[in-house]
């Protein structure tokens, strides 16, 4: 298996929570935790993309329900950006 070295920047809280998992022995090192987390995230994302294209169906459903709002005019990429920001905000509220 070929590896590639990557540098990332993390919020301090996320790093500290991650470090706890490594320190408690759930992962052998930080790279192991990141690889495992990425695998889980990619698996979840692939599930969203399988089958009946649920992700696009969801986006279209949201657009349909919000036809008369500003949100209906957003691109799929902008909706995804907003969903990610919301997910990050919720994570910070729950784990900060």
Q: Is the pTM of this model over 0.85?
A: no
Question: pLDDT for 12-38, tens place per residue?
Answer: 999 999 999 999 999 999 999 999 999
Summarize pLDDT for 58-83 with one digit per residue, the tens: 888 887 787 777 776 788 888 889 98
Q: Which of 22-26, 46-50, 56-60, 90-94 has the highest mean pLDDT?
A: 22-26
Provide the residue ranges of all domains of the chain, joining segments of one domain with +.
10-50, 52-96
> Is residue 96 over pLDDT 70?
no
DSSP 2-67: ----------HHHHHHHHHHHHTTSSSSHHHHHHHHHHHHHHHHHHHHSTTTHHHHHHHHHHHHTT
């Amino acid at each position: 298996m070929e590896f590639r070295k990557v540098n990332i920047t993390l919020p301090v809280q996320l790093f500290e929570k991650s470090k706890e998992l490594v320190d408690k022995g759930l992962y052998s090192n930080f790279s192991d935790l990141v690889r495992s987390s990425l695998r889980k995230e990619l698996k979840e994302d692939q599930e969203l993309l399988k089958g009946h294209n649920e992700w696009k169906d969801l986006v279209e459903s949201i657009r349909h329900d919000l036809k008369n709002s500003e949100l209906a005019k957003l691109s799929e990429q902008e909706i995804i950006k907003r969903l990610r920001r919301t997910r990050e905000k919720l994570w910070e509220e729950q784990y900060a």
